[in-house]
Amino acid sequence: MLEIENLHVNVGGNEILKGVTLSIGAGEVHSIMGPNGSGKSTLAQVLAGNDSYEVTEGSVVYEGSDLLSMSVDERACAGVFLAFQYPAEIPGVSNTQFLKAALNAVRRFRGEESLDAVDFLALVEEKRKVVQMDTSFLKRSVNEGFSGGEKKRHEVFQMALLEPKMVIMDETDSGLDIDALRIVSDSVNSMRNQERGFLVITHYQRLLNYIVPDFVHVLVKGKIVKSGGKELALDLEAKGYTALSHGKSPAVAGVGSN
């Protein structure tokens, strides 16, 4: 459902991604691991449509459409969802207002009716329990004063509410304690199905004990240097990234994709 081909991306004149090729099929969970500065977050932002990142070469096709020519909100409405590493804090807009605006925008795009206040709150209540967020968060401003863990749970909560098809998670595990990690992972696992694809970006193997990926890719200096199954993550945890960055030729990207 998502075909990334030879993607080159510049940020402020520096080339950060240097030819990334990756194919994610429906129902698959792919994980991208890599050291700091390898370009993981850049990949996530480019897929979401952040215009401070300049694509200089390559293509991204999402469900048969040219993703790179779609606007940020077109991508979101078409089902691409980015769970941010650092979600924006937005004083002055309550979570209720924000979530309602987002849900209705996505529903209208899908040709569904806007939800009225009662149905909206019922749906929020149902999803809220999954991520175990307190009801008081609805009245608070979007992400304002949220702890790191609350922000991440809020991202996952939005994912559950909007039901996207292609989920990109940018270091959702960072800043989470073990309990929160389990809550977040359970939510993600409950959303895994044959139609939905996941791209899980993480530093650490720990998250992958909870969200078990089908494929693991290692991104180093803007290139995927190795791809494999879930055991690759364990291998990395044992040997570190540096073993991969020296001398080894890149493995065939997109192993096992369809």
Partner 1 sequence: MLTVDDQIGAYVEAFGRRQKQMSAQDRWCDSLQEAAMNRFVELGFPSAGDEDWRDTRLEHITNTAFCLAESDSSNCSEATVASHGFPGLESTVLVFVDGHWNPDLSSTTPMSRGVYIGSLAVAIDINREQVEPHFAQYANGQQDSFAALNTAFFDDGLFVYVPNNTVVDRPIHAMYISSASGGEPAMAHPRNLIVVGQSSDVTVIEDYFSLGDQKHFTNTVTELVISRNARAAHYRLCRENQNAISVTTLRTRQSQDSNLVSHSVMTGGQWIRNNLHNEFTGSNGTSLLNGLYVNRRNQHVDNHMVVEHAAAHCSSRQVYTGILDDQASAVFGGRIIVAKDAQKTDAKQSNRNLLLSEAAQINAKPQLEIYADDVKCTHGATVGQINEDAVYYFRTRGLSEPAARALAVYAFASESLGRIDLDSIRANLTRTILAQLPHGELIEEVV
Binding residues vs partner 1 (CB under 8 A)? 48-50, 71-73, 75-77, 81-82, 84, 87-88, 90-93, 97-98, 100-102, 104-106, 109, 114, 141-142, 158, 162
As given in the structure block, the two tokens for residue 63 are 């469900």
Whichever of 55 and 102 has its CB closer to partner 1, that residue is 102
As given in the structure block, the two tokens for residue 191 are 């959303």
- Nearest one of 223, 229, 168 to 201, comparing CA atoms: 168
Whichever of 34 and 164 has its CB closer to partner 1, that residue is 164
Q: Report, in Å, the least distance between residue 90 CB and partner 1.
A: 5
E-state strands within the chain? 2-11, 14-24, 29-33, 54-62, 65-66, 80-83, 90-94, 141-142, 166-170, 197-202, 215-220, 223-228
Whichever of 81 and 198 has its CB closer to partner 1, that residue is 81
Burial of 50 (0-12, 13-18, 19+ CB in 10 A): middle
Q: Report, in Å, the least distance between residue 87 CB and partner 1.
A: 7
Q: Report, in Å, the least distance between residue 117 CB and partner 1.
A: 10
Q: Report, in Å, the least distance between residue 200 CB and partner 1.
A: 17
Give the 3-state secondary structure of residue 4.
strand
Whichever of 92 and 111 has its CB closer to partner 1, that residue is 92
Q: What is the DSSP letter of 85?
A: S
